Amino acid sequence: MNNPQASIFAEMGQHQWYVHLSRGAGTDLGQNDLEQNDLAHIRSVLRQTISDCEAKGINLVVGFGRELLADLGGDMPEDFQKFETISSIDGSGKEAIGTQEELLLWMNSPRLDDIWKTQYDARSALAGHMYVARETITFIYGNSLDMTGFIDGTGNPKPEEEHQVALVPQGEAGEGGSFILAQRWVHDLEGWNQMSLGDQEKAIGRTKADSTRLEHQEDYSHLAHVEETEDGRLDEIMRRSTPYALHDGTVGLYFMAFSRKQEILRNLLDSMYGRDGQPRDKLTDFSNPASGSYYFAPSTPQLQTMLTG
């Protein structure tokens, strides 16, 4: 029986906090001492964070990069790669940058204060063992809108299909776990808003008002790059993306997706950046990522074993 981290499938709270950490900064111990000391400490902080989230009703998903997963003794799923920058090949210079970190804590809840305190306690306790490489605070906008004004999530799998789409099947290494893609996309909203409604709809491939799929898809539409294909070249994923707005005026979409195979996520990104020889996804004229990492969220029993090991 698959026993995934339940928060992957839980109804999202209004507020989200993504904290990405890596090992290394702020200690003068020798390398071997550092590693052993780090691992024991990371285990204990994660156990505490899980229990804090349970007590406060915060949805928490814990994802590991390849090396930390291995160092904590987790089952290594097939074909788990780090995120390498993806460059377009049409001379536009557009790219999806890779910033692979080691640990992702994704918290969401109706209460921003609860999330703030819990992630603050976790990162403070990890200081000297792991440093915060990046973080993003996001929110649900209207009826699940992206800041372009389009509904985001219409093409997601039905609830009864989610496990099949998002979880490594039983009998495979890492069963019940899920591959995660986490990217912070930065929008040129001014540029986007200068397009007519009709052009925006052609760029996405759906109507803005109610997300109806356009019968005719342009070869540059987003849907033409990410929809499941009959030959199986592009397959389904489960998305949980939300918008963010930073102090300096930067806005965009925090793209968060789950899959049973990492290759599916890689293929979708290659397709958006025209690496299959097709035109690039029109969205990449108006939005590109400032960060990108792959993680693996082990099943709940695996996570427990890793954290007591």
Sites of contact with ligand HEM (CB under 6 A):
146, 148, 150-155, 185, 204, 206, 211, 222-223, 226-228, 237, 253, 255, 257, 265, 268-269, 272, 283, 287
Tally of CB atoms within 10 A around 117: 14
Taking the C-alpha atoms of residue 176 and residue 169, their distance in angstroms, rounded to an integer, is: 6
* Closer CB to ligand HEM, 105 or 272, in the complex: 272
Round to whole Å and give the CA distance between 181 and 84: 12
Minimum distance from residue 95 beta carbon to ligand HEM (Å): 13
Calpha distance 237→245 (Å, rounded): 25
200 vs 299, beta carbon nearer ligand HEM:
200
Residue nearest to ligand HEM (CB): 155
Which pair of structure tokens corresponds to residue 63?
């994802």
- Please, which residue, 36 or 164, has the CB nearer to ligand HEM? 164
Q: What are phi and psi of 52, to 5 degrees?
A: -60, -40
Least distance (Å) between residue 53 CB and ligand HEM: 27
Q: Which CB sits closer to ligand HEM, 140 or 223?
A: 223
Q: What angle do CA 241, 245, 251 make, to 5 degrees?
A: 80
Q: How far is CA 92 from the centre of its chain?
A: 25
**Shortest Å distance, C-beta 150 to ligand HEM:** 4
Residue keyed to tokens 């964070």: 49
Q: How far is the CB of 176 from ligand HEM (least distance, A)?
A: 22
Nearer to ligand HEM, 17 or 258 (CB): 258
Helix (H, G, I), strand (E, B) or coil at 124: helix
